Amino acid sequence: MLDAACVIDPRFCGGTAAAMASDIAAFLNAGLRVGLAEVRSPYLDGAPERRSPAIAALCQDPRIERLEPSADRPITARSVFLHHPMTFFYGIRTPLRLRAEKTFLVAHHLPFRGDGSLQYDPIATAHRVARATGARPLWLPVSGLCRQQLRSFTPFIRLGALDWPNVFDPAAWTPARQAFSSRRLVIGRHGRADPLKWPDTAAGIAASLPRLPDTEIRVMGCPRADLEQMGADLSDWTVLDFDAQPVPGFLDGLDVFVYHFHPASSESFGRTVAEAMLMGAVCVLDPRLAPTFGDLALYCPPEGTAGMIEKLRRDPAAARAVAARARAAIAQRHSLASVPERLAALHSAGPAAAPGPRYAPPLEVLRKTLGMIRRGEYFPSHLAARRRGPGAA
């Protein structure tokens, strides 16, 4: 029996793959026997068929047991972690049977979009997991905001008593330079090249990364064609492909990390923000991220970014203090060293989560579910057809 097995669609890149890789590193550091199983879901149809770099690196690690999903040979483990609910809401094409003491579904994705509409139904997702694997999953939110949204579906899903936040190895995220140590500032951002990760207008994009005196703009991961089609001017940006260089090195060159995103989008955690904090950048963020990062960042709409940066420039010592406090807090709260204790707590915790505020009342959830059905976003056959259709990506 394995101590832990992780299941993921290997085409995931960005935060989901990085978060799972960090979990596995923590399991291995604790001396656990770890397995990795790859599945395929229509959710990522249209994405590059190759493994993402993070998953490819895991597949080369001789300490990890590569598991071949099969309908006849179940994966046997004390703990199984299913990564990303959209994978299982859309359904998996890969035969997969599980025999585990506990099966956890790590909710890297919020059920509700930024506009309040549902993007997946956790109740249906749990049923689809049970049909596909034979296991009833226990949901693990990656943040308090994610927990609040998932509470809207209790008692019809099994919500874990504990969160499963992203973790990092602080030693791998050590800045070599100090932010705001030069008159010339570098502002920028890093993330998947997805239009939903950006403001929805050219004016919002320009305001989020403002042109200021003695300031350079650097971006790693940019849907250039989409932004230019909206009318955004990227002519004086330094733009790198997603993960064109190691993320710590890119972030180490930034004084200010700025992140605003599409009104219809949502962020369950915001791993790229935590990475920027660990590398000593001051983070100026969309206010919707305040429930996750609290006083570790500054918040404003895109049009407030220029004023916020100029205020930071006027008091560089205060800016560096904000960055230092954020780095220390993330390193303490999200350390790899915390994982073995949290894993043990998952097995000893009671079956029910504590009550708390819900994102939406039951009647509103029902109305939004009916809206998904009307839009053709609910049943797996419809979802697969949408992914195969024009523009699927």
Distance CA 32, CA 24 (A): 9
| Beta carbons within 8 Å of 392's beta carbon, 6+ residues apart | 45, 46, 386
pLDDT at 349: 83
pLDDT at 145: 93
Q: Could you give the dihedral angle defined by the CA atoms of residues 368, 372, 373 and 379, in that order, rounded to the nearest 10 degrees?
A: -130
Note the pLDDT tens digit of each residue in 277-288: 999 999 999 999
pLDDT at 380: 87
* Nearest of 314, 328, 313 to residue 255 by alpha carbon: 313
* Stated pTM of the model: 0.91
Note the pLDDT tens digit of each residue in 369-384: 999 999 999 998 878 7
pLDDT at 274: 97
Q: Residues 128, 10, 238, 275: is their CA dihedral positive or negative?
A: positive
Across the chain, what does the average pLDDT equal?
Answer: 94
Percentage of residues of the chain with pLDDT beyond 70: 97
Is residue 177 over pLDDT 90? yes
Amino acid present at 225: A
**391 — pLDDT class (breaks 50, 70, 90):** very low
Residue ranges of alpha helices (H) inside the chain are 15-29, 53-59, 85-90, 122-133, 144-151, 202-208, 224-229, 247-252, 271-278, 290-293, 305-314, 316-333, 339-348, 362-374, 380-388
What tokens appear for 111 in the block? 């059920």
